[in-house]
Amino acid sequence: MRVHKLTFAALAVAAGLSLTACQNDNAGTGQSDPSSPSTVSSSGGGSDSGSSDQGGAKNSAGISSATNSGATSSGGTGTAAGTGSNANAKVGKCRTDELEITAKDNTIDGDPDGTVVVTLTNHSGRDCTISGYAGVDLKTNAGSLSAKRTGQQAGSAILKNGKSTYFPVNYPFNKSGGSGVRITGLVVTPPDETKSVTLNWPGAATLPVTDGSGSPVKVGPVGSAGQGG
């Protein structure tokens, strides 16, 4: 009986050890479970990476959309605006051959000096810019006499096709009682041009003889003669 008891005791101890070992194995397995979340977490990191990929896809889509939008906005509008702006800004100067130039007497009774108004009419078929002073010379029996600028501010303007602008030529009356200097023609050179036109002089026939201290004839800037009327 003692032998059987020892045997049973030994079996009980062995069974107990076996059970403990099993429990330890289960505990090991149980401890390995947290590694699953760690793996999932790592996979979650992969999922984050996948999320990042999705975010990348979103970013890529966003960039693509912004780029297209930018291309449409700046490319279309900018180019159109630039082209329109350049086209509108490209207005050339008025050339002598594109202008019809005429002159007429515009002296008003009671004025101390005589006035001839020169009219410049744009017949070029396009708009053109004109500004400053025209060159004015009087042809006389004593030679050419250049008009002196009045010094008024000269503005710049766009002369529409078919429209006119004006400037005055002022000169002193010959009150000397003598024959004076006879005027035989008027030479006009538009601003910034070298080609001139010669017109008949519509004003008084003569100028007083001067002492050579300067030209008695004055010219105003283009656009300063009112209606030219």
Kindly write down the DSSP assignment for every residue of 4-62, as one continuous string. HHHHHHHHHHHHHHHHHHHHHHHHHHHHHHHHHHHHHHHHHHHHHHHHHHHHHHHHHHH
Instruction: Give the model confidence (pLDDT) of 81-125 as tens digits.
Output: 222 223 445 899 999 999 999 999 999 988 899 999 999 999 999
Give the CA distances from residue 138 to residues 42, 97, 225, in Å, rounded to whole numbers and listed in that order.
Answer: 100, 21, 19
pLDDT, tens digit only, all 229 positions of the chain? 444 444 444 444 444 444 444 444 444 444 444 333 332 333 334 333 343 344 443 443 333 333 333 333 333 322 222 222 234 458 999 999 999 999 999 999 888 999 999 999 999 999 999 999 999 999 999 999 999 999 999 888 999 999 999 999 999 999 887 889 999 999 999 999 999 999 999 999 999 987 666 679 999 999 986 433 4
pLDDT of amino acid 5:
47
Q: Please give the model's pTM, rounded to 2 decimal places.
A: 0.59
Q: Whose CA is closest to 203, among 222, 184, 220, 216?
A: 184
Strands 218-219 and 148-149: parallel
Radius of gyration of the chain (CA): 51
Give the CA distances from residue 211 to residues 31, 140, 164, 206, 229, in Å, rounded to whole numbers and listed in that order.
Answer: 125, 16, 37, 16, 32
pLDDT of amino acid 1:
46
Residue 157 identity: A
pLDDT of amino acid 97:
97
Average pLDDT of the chain to the nearest whole number = 71
For the chain, give the percent of residues with pLDDT over 90.
Answer: 50
pLDDT of amino acid 33:
44
HSE at residue 172, side-chain half, CA atoms within 13 A, is 13
pLDDT of amino acid 143:
93
Backbone angles phi, psi at 140, to 5 degrees: -130, 170
